């Protein structure tokens, strides 16, 4: 029982340590929510994307779609930057 607790705590701590390392890989990164990092450029692209696809008044849907867009675009940009370096 104690081993399971220790392993679950280690897993959570490891996941938490991974997010800041990812955020540091792009300059001017800002955390919007836990695990959601962005740059001004990515935010602008995702705002335009969400504005076209979510009807007026769909606040919860807009927030969810914005977070998903930002996470995907940020990960894509990190991969692009790492290919340039390596």
Q: Which residues pair with 38 in a beta bridge?
A: 30
Domain enclosing residue 76, as ranges = 2-85
Three-class HEC string of the chain: CHHHHHHHHHHHHHHHHHHHHHHCCCCCCEEEECCEEECHHHHHHHHHHHHHHCCCCCHHHHHHHHHHHHHHHHHHHHHHHHHHHC
Residue-level pLDDT at 54: 85
Residue-level pLDDT at 1: 46
Q: Which two tokens stand for residue 11?
A: 């897993």
Domain total for the chain? 1
Enter the pTM of the model: 0.67
Residue-level pLDDT at 33: 84
Q: What is the mean pLDDT of each run of 10 residues along the chain (86 residues)?
A: 53 50 70 88 94 84 92 92 78
């Amino acid at each position: 029982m104690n081993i399971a607790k220790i392993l679950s705590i280690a897993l959570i701590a490891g996941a938490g340590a991974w997010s800041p390392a990812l955020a540091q890989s792009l300059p001017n990164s800002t955390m919007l929510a836990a695990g959601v990092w962005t740059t001004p450029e990515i935010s602008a692209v995702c705002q335009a994307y969400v504005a076209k696809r979510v009807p007026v008044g769909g606040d919860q849907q807009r927030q969810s779609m914005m977070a998903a867009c930002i996470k995907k675009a940020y990960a894509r940009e990190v991969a692009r930057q790492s290919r340039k370096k390596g």
